Structure 1
């Protein structure tokens, strides 16, 4: 990238001595803006600064949990999970649930263990914030976030939840 900037700078110097007043951008590969370099070379501040009318991408005003909803993971549904050994050194405990009766019952049965493990919950199927808050109320003090479980389902060949994943395996 430094080489590219140096070439553009050399071209700008050569063009300014040949009577040209501005450069034409033929490609933008990202990186840092070079307009300040050109301003210094030509001693005419703002000559190479893009016009104000160029639309700049705007970051979302506020990111919230509600903006991630609804979450649907078509690869995963409530059902029986066969325990399996895994080797995931350093993997913090994660449990996967959805907004359904089986997940709610499972949370009630595993509440003590999930709290002891300080497990994080991935809610892979939930419609809205009210339904998510109802699930979070079943296990107060735990982190429970809405996420798509598609990638995890493919990587670990999962089809059903609720389940817990630790560094040594997965189980229901």
Structure 2
């Protein structure tokens, strides 16, 4: 009968010997550019490099203002005052950076304008949870004067996990600040 300590020692020794073996390279095809692989020898189809060069720079450079990202809808969040029992007991270690939640509405726009200095000072990240178009998102970016980062995203799961039902709201390591 093998003693448990002996079995553990032999497994440890075997795994350490195996870990010291150099990796085995099965195949190395070198640094072939993707443009040489896609549409190779087919002059009928546009090559990747030509297609990218012909793409509109304004569409590629719009990033978070690209029309394809919208609409963004969070059904569990609505505009209104955050209640006393909402978003309580958020573990502070989960929040590495302050964040705020807004939508594209009059209340959120006024809240952004009123709190912009504090949001910029705290380097808070903004989640835009209800926005219908890139033009609306662009208007929110204009309100912030690009002093804070804004990201459009559906926050239904976040709202459920921290028991939040309303916005605008600022959340940091101390919890919800109204």
Question: Normalized against structure 2, the TM-score is what?
Answer: 0.59
Q: Secondary structure at the match of 1:158?
A: coil
* Counterpart Cα distance in 1 of 2:138 and 2:160: 27
* Counterpart Cα distance in 1 of 2:142 and 2:160: 29
Q: CA deviation at 1:80?
A: 0.4
* Counterpart Cα distance in 1 of 2:144 and 2:89: 26
What does the per-residue CA deviation read over 1:85-105, in whole Å, with 9 as the maximum and x for residues that have no partner? Answer: 533225201100000011011
Note the 1:77-96 alignment, pairs <5 A. Answer: 77-82=78-83, 84=88, 86-89=90-93, 90-96=95-101
What does the per-residue CA deviation read over 1:24-82, in whole Å, with 9 as the maximum and x for residues that have no partner? Answer: xxxxxxxxxx9x7xxxxxxxxxxxxxxxxxxxxxxxx9694223211000100100013
Note the 1:115-134 alignment, pairs <5 A. Answer: 115-134=120-139
What does the per-residue CA deviation read over 1:118-140, in whole Å, with 9 as the maximum and x for residues that have no partner? Answer: 11100000011110010111112
* Counterpart Cα distance in 1 of 2:63 and 2:106: 26
* Counterpart Cα distance in 2 of 1:111 and 1:170: 17
Superposed CA RMSD in Å reads 2.3
Partner of 2:45: none
User: 5+ residue gaps in structure 1?
Assistant: 1-33, 37-60
Q: CA deviation at 1:169?
A: 0.2
* Counterpart Cα distance in 2 of 1:88 and 1:68: 30
User: 5+ residue gaps in structure 2?
Assistant: 1-25, 28-51, 53-59
Question: Normalized against structure 1, the TM-score is what?
Answer: 0.60
Q: Secondary structure at the match of 2:136?
A: helix
Higher percent of residues as helix: 2
Structure 1 residues 85 and 108: CA distance shift in structure 2, 3 A: farther
Partner of 2:172: 166
- Structure 1 position 142 matched with structure 2 position 148: yes
Q: Is the 8 A contact 2:90 2:162 kept in 1?
A: no
Q: Secondary structure at the match of 2:164?
A: coil
